């Protein structure tokens, strides 16, 4: 059994599965990146507020999304084992999970903004963005469950094409809602950016569900079996919760990181926000590789062909190496455009030392994304095997030990420079890569069984 016509575990196979997922991830991340660019040109204050509020809001959303996408592991292993009639069951359980998260996200959108950002006028923009972002949190979990149905089978083209189309939908809503249309629609600023991205995700959910529930999928894959199954639900949650909480813990750590950057002033958070925004844009390759590795290795495990996994890992590493090489070679040609696109016309009046810091911030983001990409190859293997509890425990310890505490010591107490602060972030990624490399090398994850 093979997902593609190419040799198992080869670079061509991983590209065949991962490239559409990279395109899909790029399109999704591009929505947030476009939000940042438009907000930066609308108002630097709105841009800075979006950096901090979206990081915190995404921590909650990403947790639900990651838990729901665990359906991909079950779909992949059932698909590898030839149990096609069971593919719809885990997907529906995670759709139910997404609906259940309304219990969390609706109260969070009502009381969360004041809890995290207080009542003062100085954090009004953060409260506005956070409110609308988390209100639509359940739709991201439902999207993750539906996308898992197609990705787990290696049918990635549909997801990627839809993501590209959704990006144009988001751009249209962004332009209208952020800037408004004089005489027809008011400018909503930062609130409009959050609403536009949320509406775009609802569009993706509607399209995916209509295809998921088509007659041929109902007959072959059991996508009509919509009813809640407690045993299947709990099985998904047992594997999904540690992975979801792992993602939440890491993003909460980054939210704390950027909050501490805010304490150092507008210039600090603006440059750090540029670093983060470029990371968001580039993250499509590690994210696509991760999901591709999960799909490929999940099928290998289901079909009892685990010996091909090491070859898949090497192929994923070579893809990351090629990606970062292209980015570094092209760096002199695009760095100016990115910086001045974010900072707008006001960049010409800014101190040269600040502009130079922005150059280094983007370079640091390239280093970070390469190291993190290697880590995501290993996490893909561990997730495919159901070894998600290790992901949670390692991220929980690592985010505090190597990111939050060092940032507080060096940035807040000793007030080091921005570049030294970003060195802390890169060091964190190195330590996390070593932890997951050692886990993979020991091989205890191979003994796990989830279906």
For residue 96, with 0-12 CB atoms within 10 Å meaning exposed, 13-18 middle and 19 or more buried, which class applies? buried
* pLDDT given for residue 123 in this prediction: 87
pLDDT digits (tens, 9 = 90+) for 302-337: 777 888 899 999 999 999 999 999 999 999 888 888
Alpha-carbon distance 136 to 105, whole Å?
A: 8
Helix axes 388-399, 418-442, angle to 10 degrees: 150
Q: Which residues contact 131 (CB under 8 A, 6 or more apart)?
A: 109, 110, 112, 113, 194
Whether this model's pTM surpasses 0.85: no
* pLDDT given for residue 410 in this prediction: 92
pLDDT digits (tens, 9 = 90+) for 33-70: 777 778 877 787 887 887 778 778 887 887 888 888 88
Q: Estimate to the nearest angstrom the gap between the alpha carbon of 392 and the chain centroid.
A: 16
* pLDDT given for residue 311 in this prediction: 93
* pLDDT given for residue 420 in this prediction: 86
Alpha-carbon distance 258 to 255, whole Å?
A: 5
Sign of CA dihedral 102, 138, 269, 394: positive
- Nearest residue to 280 via CA among 53, 30, 56: 30
Alpha-carbon distance 219 to 407, whole Å?
A: 54
Taking a C-beta distance cutoff of 8 angstroms, is the pair 424, 409 a contact? no
- pLDDT under 70 in the chain at which residues? 1-4, 24, 27-28, 344-350, 447-451
**Residue 336 burial (CB count, 10 A):** 12
* pLDDT given for residue 273 in this prediction: 79
């Amino acid at each position: 059994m093979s997902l593609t016509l190419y040799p198992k575990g080869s670079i061509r196979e991983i590209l065949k599965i991962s490239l559409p997922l990279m395109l899909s991830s790029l399109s999704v991340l591009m929505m947030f990146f476009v939000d940042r660019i438009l907000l930066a040109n609308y108002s630097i204050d709105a841009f800075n507020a979006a950096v901090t509020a979206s990081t915190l809001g995404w921590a909650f959303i990403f947790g639900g999304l990651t838990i729901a996408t665990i359906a991909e592991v079950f779909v992949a292993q059932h698909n590898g084992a030839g149990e096609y009639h069971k593919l719809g069951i885990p997907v529906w359980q995670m759709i139910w999970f997404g609906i259940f998260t309304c219990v969390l996200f609706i109260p969070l959108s009502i009381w969360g903004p004041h809890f995290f950002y207080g009542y003062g006028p100085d954090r009004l923009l953060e409260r506005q963005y956070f409110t609308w972002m988390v209100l639509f949190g359940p739709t991201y979990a439902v999207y993750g469950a539906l996308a898992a149905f197609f990705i787990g089978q290696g049918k990635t083209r549909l997801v990627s094409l839809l993501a590209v189309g959704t990006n144009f939908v988001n751009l249209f809503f962004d332009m209208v809602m952020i800037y408004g249309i004089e005489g027809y629609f008011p400018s909503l600023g930062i609130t409009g950016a959050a609403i536009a991205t949320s509406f775009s995700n609802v569009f993706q959910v509607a399209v995916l569900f209509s295809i998921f529930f088509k007659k041929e999928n109902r007959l072959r894959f059991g996508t009509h079996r919509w009813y809640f199954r407690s045993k299947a639900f709990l099985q998904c949650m047992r594997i999904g919760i540690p992975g979801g909480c792992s993602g939440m813990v890491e993003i909460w750590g980054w939210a704390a990181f950027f909050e501490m950057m805010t304490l150092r002033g507008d210039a600090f958070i603006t440059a750090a926000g540029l670093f983060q925004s470029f990371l968001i844009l580039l993250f499509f390759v590690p994210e696509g590789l991760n999901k591709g590795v999960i799909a490929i290795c999940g099928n290998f495990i289901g079909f009892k062909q685990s010996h091909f996994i090491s070859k898949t890992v090497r192929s994923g590493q070579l893809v990351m190496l090629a990606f970062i090489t292209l980015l570094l070679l092209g760096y002199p040609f695009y760095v100016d455009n990115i910086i001045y696109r974010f900072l707008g016309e006001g960049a010409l009046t800014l101190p040269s030392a600040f502009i130079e810091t922005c150059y280094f911030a983007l370079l640091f983001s390239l280093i970070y994304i390469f190291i993190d990409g290697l880590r995501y190859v290993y996490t893909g293997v561990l997730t495919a095997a159901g070894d998600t509890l290790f992901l949670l425990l390692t991220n929980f310890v690592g985010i505090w030990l190597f990111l939050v505490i060092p940032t507080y010591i060096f940035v807040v107490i000793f007030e080091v420079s921005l570049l030294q602060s970003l060195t802390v972030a890169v060091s964190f990624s190195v330590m996390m890569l070593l932890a997951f490399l050692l886990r993979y090398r020991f091989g205890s994850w191979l003994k796990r069984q989830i279906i």
